């Protein structure tokens, strides 16, 4: 158990819909990272927050947005869903601001768009 | 820009045999390098990391990796494979300084044959 909690574990929805994925980092970790894992794209970095502030953006679509709340949990919002958004979405946390230390990953939220 | 290339998307070894998973990196400055492992239906877990302190890095579960600057490589090895080593292995790179992305390779699926 990494200490990172992601909900929901599985989500099935239809094209055009909107979903919210939630992540609770390890106790004491200020950084939250979101990754998308799919068969064709592999593990893609989406976005990084540190103590409520956005620190870096990767290959995140404009239809996607995220935020980190004062209690440090984070949410990833995916809207106008397309079939290609079906993937495993991972959240990871760490103590420091830079990803030069260990990232602790949750078990992921599997999104299926029908 | 930083990137990693993992040679071989699938590797099969017999139980007790040497495990060698290959990773080559590309970066313009000294990198931080990592190996993560993903067991089925789980998140990623750190095996080991290179942060310039020593070129030979020992990790968990008997794995080790050697940083070779001249070859821009960071291959993962284990002298004797166990059935429990069957998983997907990811090499990852990030840079010191202003870089804030941890970039993952495409992964290598390790199968251990009895």
The model's pLDDT over A3-43, given as tens digits with 9 standing for 90+, comes to: 999 999 999 999 999 999 999 999 999 999 999 999 888 99
- Which tokens in the block code for residue A46? 């989406």
Residue B55 to residues B37, B90, B110: CA-CA distances in angstroms? 20, 19, 24
* Interchain contact, B101 vs A106, CB within 8 Å: no
- Which tokens in the block code for residue A66? 């995220």
**What local confidence, expressed as pLDDT, does residue A87 receive?**
97
**What local confidence, expressed as pLDDT, does residue B96 receive?**
62
pLDDT in tens, A51-82: 999 999 988 999 999 999 999 999 999 999 99
Residue in chain A nearest B47 by alpha carbon: A102
* Interchain contact, A107 vs B45, CB within 8 Å: no
**What local confidence, expressed as pLDDT, does residue B7 receive?**
92
**What local confidence, expressed as pLDDT, does residue A111 receive?**
98
Facing B100 at nearest CB: one of A42, A48, A105: A48
């Amino acid at each position: 158990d990494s200490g990172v909690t992601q909900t929901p574990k599985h989500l099935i929805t239809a094209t055009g819909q909107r979903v919210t994925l939630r992540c609770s980092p390890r106790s004491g970790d200020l950084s939250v990272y979101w990754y998308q894992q799919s068969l064709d794209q592999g593990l893609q970095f989406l976005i990084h927050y540190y103590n409520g502030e956005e620190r870096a953006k990767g290959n995140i679509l404009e239809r996607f947005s995220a935020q980190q709340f004062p209690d440090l949990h984070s949410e990833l919002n995916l809207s106008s869903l397309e079939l290609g958004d079906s993937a495993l979405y991972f959240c990871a946390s760490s103590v420091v601001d830079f990803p030069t230390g260990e990232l602790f990953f949750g078990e992921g939220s599997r999104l299926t768009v029908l | 820009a930083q990137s990693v290339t993992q040679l071989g998307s699938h590797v099969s070894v017999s139980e007790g045999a040497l495990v060698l998973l290959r990773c080559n990196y590309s970066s313009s400055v000294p990198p931080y390098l990592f190996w993560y492992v993903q067991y089925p239906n789980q998140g990623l877990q750190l095996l080991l990391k290179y942060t310039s302190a020593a070129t030979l890095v020992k990790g968990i579960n008997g794995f080790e990796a050697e940083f070779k600057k001249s070859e821009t490589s960071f291959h993962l090895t284990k002298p004797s494979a166990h059935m429990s080593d069957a998983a997907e292995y990811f090499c990852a790179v990030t840079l010191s300084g202003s870089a804030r992305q941890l970039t993952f390779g495409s992964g290598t699926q390790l199968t251990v044959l009895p």
